[in-house]
Amino acid sequence: MALIKNGELVDDIWVTIASAFELAGASRPIVSLELWRAERGRFRNTNAPLGIRLASDQSPALIANDLDRFEVLALEFPKFTDGRAYSHARQLRERHGFCGEIRAVGNVLRDQLSFMVRCGFDAFEIASDRPLEAWRDALGEIGVWYQPGADGQTPAMVSRRTARGQPC
Amino acid sequence: MYRYDEFDHALVSQRVEQFRGQVARRLRGELTEDEFKPLRLMNGLYLQLHAYMLRIAIPYGTLSSRQMRMLAHLARTYDRDYGHFTTRQNLQLNWPKLADVPDMLADLATVEMHAIQTSGNVIRNVTADHLAGVAADEIEDPRIYAEIIRQWSTLHPEFSFLPRKFKIAVTGAARDRAAIKVHDIGLQIKRDEAGEVGFAVVVGGGQGRTPMIGPTIREFLPKKDLLSYLEATLRVYNLLGRRDNLYKARIKILVHSLGAAKFAAMVEEEWRHLRDGPLELPADEIARIEAYFAPSPYARLDESAPELEALRAGNADFAMWCERNLDSHKQPGYGIVHVSLKPEGGAPGDATSAQMDIVADLAERYSRDEIRVSHEQNLSLPDVRLDDVPAVWRALAAAGLATPNIGLISDIIACPGLDFCNLANARAIPVAQELTERFSDLRRQHDIGDIKIKISGCINACGHHHVGHIGILGVDKKGKEFYQITLGGSADENAALGDLVGPAVAYDDVTDAVEILVETYMASRKDGETFLGTYRRVGLTPFKEALHGAH
Amino acid sequence: MTPQKLKIVTANRLGDGAVVYLDADGDWSARLGNGWVALDQDDETALLARAAQAEADLLIVGAYSMEVARLGDGLAPTSQRERIRSAGPTVAAGEVPAALPATPRRSA
């Protein structure tokens, strides 16, 4: 597994842990929703770095009141055809105002990369046998977007007004 | 009609190059078929029974002559010299080679066309009324909103991996010529009590395995809220639509299981967060798109057209054609010419590249350069001066495009069926062909009057059989082709699903069965009643008895 | 004794989607009649493994096994769907009738 962040391959400083036993050894754990719920009291009483991983059927609304506690939200694509995490990422950015890292994990393929970026993902856990160049290329393939997204790229509707010298 | 600006051109060109890269990677083995399949589907490329099939988008069924000529060029250059117009106003080419498809898409881009999202679990081609802009009863041109929705839905990053495909239709009048009640989302342009124009929103209609008439979940949606409301609806579906069972994944299943009121409430809740935000449609944006569809000024003509009248009086064939294939236009002195793609013994909806070129020439010369594709697999020339109609008719007749049968029994809708389609259980085209041959007598056809026969080769219902006055569904019984027949379906504003008339009928018996049903109607009808009218009055029983009694 | 169902393996060619069959020489050909017949489950598994390799080698896509019956010296499909895959569409779609009438036909 490799991690892409800000267009570069970086070392992953986070560790996804499966059970409470592993917490002791992990300085930057990403926990499951179940573990978070079981240990919420303990987690809320510290400021140690924490991330959480949500399955595709687990809504961010379930942790909306605790988002300030997490630096990383890992959203799962169990199969790349399961598109629920796209909506979850947008809700996290646009409704809940989450500013930390939103990471795509699971079946993450380069042809979905630009969609993910537009929905607010800024980190991607990928199979390490694919070259980085391919991922960078994928990001540059489409530069024009009709609709507003969560990544701040200007949609065509607004660009057109600017081109015509109209106020936004 | 809409004209691409630099942004539209850029997006389509980038998309072509992106797909070119994806095809190259597929052919080098860097993408498996599983990884490639959703990508090729997002560009309308299917793998069918005998070959690949490319489905080209014709947004809301509107084409210029230049675009039609390009379709002819593609058919001639890369395919077998013909194409098939579908029930969603698209064009299908049945024999492209994988390596040629990026070039085909590049050619299409030069005339502002594409095949984006004509397949896959995405928002598909937004269809509209094929008489948009020229029908007298229209409140506003639905294509304005179909174009706005098209842009919003194209490469939408959040909605490219939905549970299942998603189809939206817009009608501009109370008379529904776009079948909105059997779409995932149907929009009807209407006025509220204050006279403001907006939409009634229907969600959860559909055909296929579990056909449903969609409920209205919002009686009135103001124009400015169109996209934010659609986004809320799609988000609810994306998150809650079933992903465990292919046959229960459409939004109609979700709406039905929650109930319309609960579903509507969930959409409203999501919408609270989206309305009045970046998706709000400014009035000047609507006006900008509207300007593309505003017709250029019509000539000021007399209502009468002496040459047409003289020909109508003197030529019985022309008179018969006028009765079915010429519709009145809201502008005096103009008419709407329907081009029948249903010749006797032909495959419904097919046109050769030569025929496409002829229609393009006629459109350029006589119809202000516009052609329409209906969802009943015919074409229309929407703006023909009545004075020019005789010349247009002669040209159409010489090309085999003047069968005077619009809306008659030989104007059959049929999917490609088992002759072409991977999903089919039975053939549809030869069933249609044999029916047109049995009913070839035009006088008899006129006597029977308005009747829509719709044939699907499988439960996916691409032939729209559920909403046929006579619906025919092909099924597989132990490797043999059988057909279920339904009666009384309708796709208009009084939408209804057909009733099963009895056990499935063998391939060899279908034509006889249909003839018996038609004869039953003829025997029972009262003054001027159509088939549908008679069926609604007398019900299923007389038809059931006529069919079963005969065996 | 009930005879075993005879099976062969079919697929579509990657480049143009044409229907092909795994034939007795291990090649993929358009002719069904020369298909490599699997007589039992083990045979079938082995043939499908060959197909998986052919897919990895970028020759074909979407292979599956289909039932056939012996017909004279050759083989024939047993379902309508496979008959059509083998012989092509049963309709001459897209062909305009040779003699186009100047006016639409009408019975006397």
Q: Is the pTM of this model over 0.80?
A: yes
CA angle (B436, B465, B128) in 5-degree steps: 100
Total count of domains within chain C: 1
Going through B204-354 in order, the beta strands assigned E by DSSP cover: 216-222, 326-328, 334-339, 350-352
Considering only CB atoms, B243 lies closest to which of A82, A86, A87, namely: A82
For B415-433, what is each residue's pLDDT tens digit? 999 999 999 999 999 999 9
Residue C105 has pLDDT above 50, yes or no: no
Q: If contacts are CB pairs under 8 Å, which of residues 99-118 in chain B contact chain C?
A: 99
| Domain B306-398 of CATH type 3.60.21.70 | no
CA distance B52 to B72: 18
Q: Which residues of B462-489 are buried (b: 16+ CB within 10 A; e: fewer)?
A: bbbbbbbbbbbbbbbeeeebbbbbbbbb
Q: What is the ipTM of this complex?
A: 0.95
Chain C residue at shortest CA distance from B29: C58
CA distance C38 to C44: 5
Q: Which chains touch C (3 or more CB pairs under 8 A)?
A: B
Burial class (CB in 10 A: 0-12, 13-18, 19+), A96: middle
Digit-by-digit pLDDT tens for chain B (551 residues) are 899 998 899 999 999 999 999 999 999 999 999 999 989 998 999 999 999 999 999 999 999 999 999 999 999 999 999 999 999 999 999 999 999 999 999 999 999 999 999 999 999 999 998 889 988 899 999 999 999 999 999 999 999 999 999 999 999 999 998 999 999 999 999 999 999 999 999 999 999 889 999 999 999 999 999 999 999 999 999 999 999 998 999 999 999 999 999 999 999 999 999 999 999 999 999 999 999 999 889 998 988 899 999 999 999 999 999 999 999 998 999 999 999 999 999 999 999 999 999 999 999 999 999 999 998 999 999 999 999 999 999 999 999 999 999 999 999 999 999 999 999 999 999 999 999 999 999 999 999 999 999 999 999 999 999 999 999 999 999 888 999 999 999 988 889 999 999 999 999 999 999 999 999 999 999 989 999 999 999 999 999 999 987 54
For the domain spanning B6-110, the CATH number is 3.90.480.20
Do the first three CATH levels of B6-110 and B306-398 match, i.e. the same topology?
yes
Cβ-Cβ contacts under 8 Å, B238 against chain A:
83-84, 86-87
CATH number at residue A136: 3.20.20.70
Q: If contacts are CB pairs under 8 Å, which of residues 269-328 in chain B contact chain C?
A: 317, 320-321
Contact C104 B355 (CB under 8 A): no
Give the best residue of A135, A137, A147 to mutate against chain B (max B CB count within 10 A): A147
Cβ-Cβ contacts under 8 Å, A147 against chain B:
151-152, 156-157, 227, 279
Tell me if there are at least 3 CB pairs under 8 Å linking chains B and A. yes
Q: Are B83 and B356 contacting, i.e. CB atoms less than 8 angstroms apart?
A: yes
Considering only CB atoms, B479 lies closest to which of C55, C62, C78, namely: C78
The verdict on residue A148 lying in a domain is no
The verdict on residue A7 lying in a domain is yes
The verdict on residue A150 lying in a domain is no
DSSP secondary structure of A79-127: STT--HHHHHHHIIIIIS---SEEEEEES--GGGHHHHHHHT--EEEE-
CA distance B206 to B165: 11
Domain residue ranges of chain B, discontinuous segments joined by +: 6-110, 134-291, 306-398, 413-549
The verdict on residue C102 lying in a domain is no
* Domain boundaries, position C61: 6-87
CA distance B270 to B239: 11
The verdict on residue C26 lying in a domain is yes
Burial class (CB in 10 A: 0-12, 13-18, 19+), B262: exposed
- Return the SS3 of B8: helix
Looking up tokens 């703006």 gives: B383
Task: Sort residue B183 into left (φ over 0), alpha (ψ -120 to 50) or beta.
Answer: beta
For B387-408, what is each residue's pLDDT tens digit? 999 999 999 999 999 999 999 9
Cα–Cα distances in angstroms (integers) from residue B489 to residues B183, B453, B469, B499, B501, in the given order = 15, 10, 5, 7, 12
The verdict on residue A115 lying in a domain is yes
In words, the CATH class of domain B134-291 is alpha beta
- Return the SS3 of B365: helix
Burial class (CB in 10 A: 0-12, 13-18, 19+), A128: exposed
* Domain boundaries, position A129: 2-142
Q: Place domain B413-549 in its CATH homologous superfamily.
A: Sulfite Reductase Hemoprotein, domain 1 (3.30.413.10)
Partners of A30 in beta bridges: A16, A51
Cα–Cα distances in angstroms (integers) from residue B433 to residues B345, B462, B481, C100, in the given order = 4, 18, 16, 17
Q: Does A146 touch chain B (CB under 8 A)?
A: yes
Residue C89 CA to its chain's centroid (Å):
12
The verdict on residue A84 lying in a domain is yes
The verdict on residue A9 lying in a domain is yes
Looking up tokens 């029974």 gives: B49
- Return the SS3 of C10: strand
Partners of A74 in beta bridges: A53, A103
